[in-house]
Amino acid sequence: MDQNNPNGFIESERGIILNEPLPDDKPTDTTHPQKPAKKHESKIVAGILFVILAAAVAFALTQIDYTAITDSVAGNGYEATDELADIIEQLELTDDGMRILKATRPELQDRDAFNNSCTNNNYEGGVVLGCHTNPGGRIYVYNVEDAKLDGIRQSILAHELLHAVWVRLSDSEKTDLSTELYAEYEKNETVQKNMAIYSDNRDLSELHSVVGQVVQPDQLSGVLRKHYAKYFRNHSKVVGFYEKYSEPFEQNQQKIATLKELIATKREAYIKHMDEYTAANQTLTQDVNEYNSCARVLNCFKTREEFVRKHDELKARQEALRVEYEKLQVEVAELNAKISEYNAIVVRNSDLQESINSKPTNKGQEIKDN
């Protein structure tokens, strides 16, 4: 027996088996031969294989993605309408993204149906364009049909899909992403603007959806870029939908802000000019009255030359004021034109807002995804 193995066991490819007797240890009494070890060996090998199999099964069970199975079952048989199917196709979802989206059984709805589906639709300062219901896990998107806002439905659907993604993440995954999401919030004004309309502007579920909706992947950290790539084959294209539909709003807001500043400057200059003109005109009127009064009095003017000189001075002042009056007319016309332009853009922007407004009573408010 091997001294280093006093228990009589050796390792083999079949598992742990009993040692066979060494040649010097073979029994000399042939009438009582030692029983072969094969029977014991088979029992031990069978036991080891059972343990290994049980461990393998347990390991396999831990690797099963039950959420994916649940999603596959929930989405089984789902068929989008042709219009929504086209929108979904444009998002270019990965297999995981498509599985999750189908599990939410998304719908594109007009105003009445949408308000029945998305009951939490009364936000001060915003209107709801989509929702991911909880409980229920359904996605509903308001059917905005204004051709000037092409891309809005794709963008809203992507936003709501990311809500569905968030609820499926583990606590550890959410913790890992939260640091990256907050960092993106701190540095990105577009994210801050979009989050400002929520009561909790640091809500992680909303932040996760907004960042994935509005920030180009090349501007994201590696962690976030890799995360969103799990669900979108072309994340840049998805963000492009947001950029496309938000452009008319951005242009209008920029024009409104520029015109508002210009109108304020022109109005201030006009008022100042008008005040100066009014004061000069009052002084001239007073001087003309004095001149006329003096002209009626004998010898009020010492000489004819004085009479003519004062007359000519007053006429020159009258002419100068006439020129200033004409300038004021030009200024007020220009000011009114800018005010009309401003009002037209405000109306145009209001019409755009109304076209995305799922509740007609909320005219002129900001966009909000839920």
Q: How many CB atoms lie within 10 A of CB 106?
A: 23
pLDDT of residue 174: 97
pLDDT of residue 104: 96
Choice between 206 and 365, residue whose per-residue pLDDT is larger: 206
pLDDT above 70: percentage of residues in the chain: 78
Opening angle at CA 134, ends 365 and 211, nearest 5: 55
Give the pLDDT band of residue 120 (cuts 50, 70, 90).
confident
Rg for the chain, CA atoms, rounded: 42
212-232 per-position pLDDT tens digit: 999 999 999 999 999 999 999
Give the pLDDT band of residue 296 (cuts 50, 70, 90).
very high
37-53 per-position pLDDT tens digit: 454 555 554 555 544 44
Contact 369, 355 (CB under 8 A): no
Residue found by looking up tokens 């583990």 in the block: 170
- 232-259 per-residue burial string, b: 16 or more CB within 10 A, e: under 16: beebeebbebbeebbebbeebeebbeeb
CA distance 145 to 114: 14
Does the pLDDT of residue 116 top 70, yes or no? yes
Q: How many helices (H) and strands (E) does the chain have?
A: 12, 7
Does the pLDDT of residue 159 top 80, yes or no? yes
Q: For the purposes of burial, counting CB atoms within 10 Å of the CB of 26, is it exposed (0-12), middle (13-18) or buried (19 or more)? A: exposed
Q: List beta partners, residue 222.
A: none
Contact 158, 241 (CB under 8 A): yes
CA distance 244 to 240: 6
Q: List beta partners, residue 127.
A: 367
CA distance 130 to 370: 6
Does the pLDDT of residue 327 top 70, yes or no? yes
Strand order of the β-sheet with 107-109 is 107-109, 139-142, 130-132
For 141-147, what is the mean pLDDT?
A: 94
The phi, psi pair for 275, rounded to 5°, reads -65, -45
pLDDT of residue 366: 46
Dig out the tokens for 118 from the structure.
């998305």
Opening angle at CA 208, ends 202 and 209, nearest 5: 110
Q: How many CB atoms lie within 10 A of CB 338?
A: 17
Closest by CA position to 211, among listed 177, 258, 244: 177
CA distance 274 to 106: 62
Q: What letter would DSSP give residue 114?
A: H
CA distances from 140 to 104, 143, 354 (A): 9, 9, 19
What's at 177, amino acid-wise? L
Dig out the tokens for 292 from the structure.
């006329």
Closest by CA position to 34, among listed 26, 42, 22: 26
pLDDT of residue 287: 95
In the chain, the N- to C-terminal Cα span, in Å, equals: 76
DSSP 3-state assignment of 253?
Answer: helix
CA distances from 290 to 145, 285, 297, 299, 318 (A): 72, 9, 11, 14, 15
Closest by CA position to 141, among listed 168, 163, 166, 169: 163
pLDDT of residue 367: 43
Number of residues written out for the chain: 370
CA distance 283 to 107: 74
